[in-house]
Structure 1
Amino acid sequence: NIKKMARGSDFEYEAIFSLIPEIKLGDWKDLKVLKKPVEAKDDETEKVIQDLREQRADFISIDRGIAKGDQVEMEYEMYMDNLRTEEGKQKTDKMIIGRGLFLPEVEENLIGLKAGDEKSFKITYKPDYAQKRFAGKAVEFRVAIKGVCEAKLPEATDEWAKSFGNFENIGQLREAIKKNLLSEKEMKEEERTELEALDLILNTATFGEIPEILVSSETENMLAELKQSIEHQKLSFAKYLEMIKKTEDDLRKEFTAKAEKRIKTTLIVREIAKLENLKVSDEEVEEEMEIAKGEHAGHGHKDEYYESDEFRDRLENILLSRKAVGFIKGQIVK
């Protein structure tokens, strides 16, 4: 707000800033997080092999009752209180029984039906069903089976393994799958220990008042991340909100506590980086900038963007946070 603005006198104004809250760390280096051993088991490898076989299955039309694993083509309608629901207008759908694309109660009612059969049945949705308009309600399904196909799975042979890339035999494919499974588990365990370590430090730290504008800004960031994630799934955000029966304001309220925790975690990481005098070198930033250019080539940003001070500062903050988290894990993860 302008306090004084007159010819021949000093210009005075009043500005209000939101200050980063104070933080006091506890004795965080005395904390301990135990890393759990991980392994990739043979039955997990075989489960992946089976999934790959099912993905490449041929479906052959058959004249028998529906069984688990069959592909079914059907028309169906859904009625609630004797009125056809908007979601249940006559549809033709294909699904594989046992894959969980429909409710288990629906699939159970299809077992044994043949092409040409029709059936009506009712199921009651669970009280906590995601689509609230169906939660706890009885819904009548009217189905007409148009076709039944049996899955013919390819044998897991050396020739079949070669079709997935640079594998000479099924043994090499199994070994590659097992290696990937182990890598995924190790990554998940690293993420778990990181989150546990940060949570423990957060619980032993004390914070000044978190400015509302920070919480509001982080809440909007979380909402934007969710929107982007939904759109990547080829679903409009409006449709997503309709499915979960919530509004953007409902989500904002749900995100508020999580947003405040995110802010506190960021403050912890920055404070430890400062206290431990952690730095990011120009060489580290330059190397990461080159990686970013390569990864985002053709995504709309010109090279000038990756040379800008704005991007450089952002990247330096990311690298410093990464280094601080690595330091934290090195201190307390055992």
Structure 2
Amino acid sequence: MQVTETRSEGLRREFKVTLPASELEERLTGELATLKDRVRINGFRPGKVPLAHLRKLYGRSVMAEVVQNAVNEANRKIVDENGLKLALEPKIDMAGGQEEVEKALEAKGDLDFTVALEVLPEFELADLGDVSITKKVAEVSDEDLETAITRMAEQNRSFAEKDGEAANGDRVTVDFLGRIDDVAFEGGTASDIEVDLGSGTFIPGFEEQLLGAKAGEERKVNVTFPENYGSENLAGKAAEFDVTVKAVSAPKEVVIDDELAKGFGMEDLGKLKEAVKSAIGRDFEAQSRRKLKRELLDALDTKYAFPLPEGLVEQEFGAVWNQVTGELEANKRTFADEDTTEEAARAEYRKIAERRVRLGLVLAQVGEKADIKVTDEEVNQALVERVRQYPGQERQVWEFYQKNPNAKAELRAPIFEEKTVDHILDQVKVVEETISREELFRDDEDAKDEAKASTEAQAQ
């Protein structure tokens, strides 16, 4: 096998590989000789099948395997002998077209192919001694706790049937039949449905048209499904519902006491407040961590400037762009609705993709140099958390991850990233600043600007 480097530009490398016909023949013969002792063919004793007969029966399939093994061997040879770290899998291009490939498969011609690849950039880790970031924290106030407890009580309060008209805040129990163009549609019929008036949980206009209704009354409700409704066959269409009001119930007074706590599995109200305060505190800490990480990544981004593998950037940009266009399509919006153009949006999101790739490579190198490891126990804990997200399908989800190493590896990357971030935080100055809850959660929805550092490079 002859391997010759034909291109070295920036992070791109290209190699020409030639496997002479004589070597192809030698490899094919060796594989057939091994096969001779394993196959059973009528008319021949075990191990006595002539190679010529084996070649006639299995030659092409065995040669295809020989070629694939040669490609894999060439890739390993190129990487090992040149000490390369690949950004993505190499691209193989068979030279000479189909006719030349056919000759090679018959061992009547040389096998020529090129291996094109991109390597990871080499860069020195920056000194972070001058980096100072702020960890913004918020304390759980009595008002935060009271609001949370009150919300829990309201969401779990009881209702009692009443006479008279339904008012905002009441619950009406209804049967309904929906039609579009006088034709009943799938999912438009239901019985004993509870509608909390003023909750905004039904199609816009549905709840409002039940105000003033009484038990036993029949009403026609006319609504239009939102343009971004989940079912495409209903989105944007006008519908008429025949509604029968079966009961009208008024909410009972909200009572915050030990009985409420027991309904949540707590001994008394004091224990419930402790648990809720602790849960709010965990939410605050998680948000504080997100902001701290974002500020750290912003600081890291100013420290590095090096060439990026275009393949990784394209891969990241594709993922980001598909998400952006998917959300626009789902919400029936255009780039003009967002006060931008597709060209400007592409440029903006490409910068985001470049940032993610750059920071991903930085975190990967920091983690490698610090010898940061992710244990199997940590991966399994992450898998347990993932399984909990699919109640009723736990076994199927567990088996899926156990049978798919790549899927399981996806659980490892975020753990590696968080441990690496912790390692970097130990090297910089972190100053705590107490702020309000409102400020802590401000702009949290602006996720597109958050540097979610991709750690694909860890696997390279």
Q: Deviations over 1:84-142 (max 9, x none)?
A: 795784555432123321256443333222231424456796xxx53498999694654
The code of the aligned residue for 1:101 comes to: T
Whole-angstrom CA distance in 2 between matches of 1:302 and 1:19: 30
The one of 367, 384, 396 aligned to 1:273: 367
Q: Is the 8 A contact 2:179 2:241 kept in 1?
A: yes
Match for residue 52 of structure 1?
152
| Residue ranges of structure 1 left out of the alignment (5+ in a row) | 227-239, 247-252
TM-score w.r.t. length of structure 1: 0.66
Q: How does 1:180-259 map to 2 (within 5 A)?
A: 180-212=279-311, 215-216=314-315, 219=318, 257=350
Q: Residues 209 and 135 from structure 1, CA distance in 2 versus in 1: closer, same or farther, beyond 3 angstroms?
A: farther
Match for residue 63 of structure 2?
none
The farther-off stretch of 284-293 and 66-75 is 284-293
Whole-angstrom CA distance in 1 between matches of 2:221 and 2:127: 65
Give the 3-state SS of the residue equivalent to 2:277 in structure 1: helix
Match for residue 179 of structure 1?
278
RMSD of aligned alpha carbons: 5.0
Q: Is the 8 A contact 2:203 2:223 kept in 1?
A: no
Q: Does 1:7 align with 2:22?
A: yes
Q: How does 1:1-334 map to 2 (within 5 A)?
A: 2-7=17-22, 14-22=114-122, 29-74=129-174, 75=176, 77=178, 89-92=188-191, 93-103=193-203, 105-115=205-215, 116-120=217-221, 130-131=228-229, 139=238, 141-142=240-241, 144-146=243-245, 147-152=247-252, 155-167=255-267, 169-212=268-311, 215-216=314-315, 219=318, 257=350, 260-273=354-367, 277-280=369-372, 285=375, 288=378, 291=381, 299-300=398-399, 320-330=416-426, 331-334=428-431
| Residue ranges of structure 2 left out of the alignment (5+ in a row) | 1-15, 25-109, 334-345, 388-393, 432-460
Q: Percent identity, please.
A: 23
Give the 3-state SS of the residue equivalent to 1:20 in structure 2: coil
Q: Is the 8 A contact 1:38 1:185 kept in 2?
A: yes
Paired residues, what number? 301
TM-score w.r.t. length of structure 2: 0.50
The code of the aligned residue for 2:362 comes to: I
The code of the aligned residue for 2:419 comes to: K
The code of the aligned residue for 2:133 comes to: V
Q: Is the 8 A contact 1:73 1:95 kept in 2?
A: yes
Asked which structure has the greater CA Rg, the reply is: 2
The alpha-carbon deviation at position 24 of structure 1 amounts to 6.9
The alpha-carbon deviation at position 244 of structure 1 amounts to 5.1
Q: Is the 8 A contact 1:77 1:91 kept in 2?
A: no
Greater RCO structure (CA 8 Å; 6+ sep): 1
Whole-angstrom CA distance in 2 between matches of 1:290 and 1:109: 51
Q: Is the 8 A contact 2:172 2:197 kept in 1?
A: yes
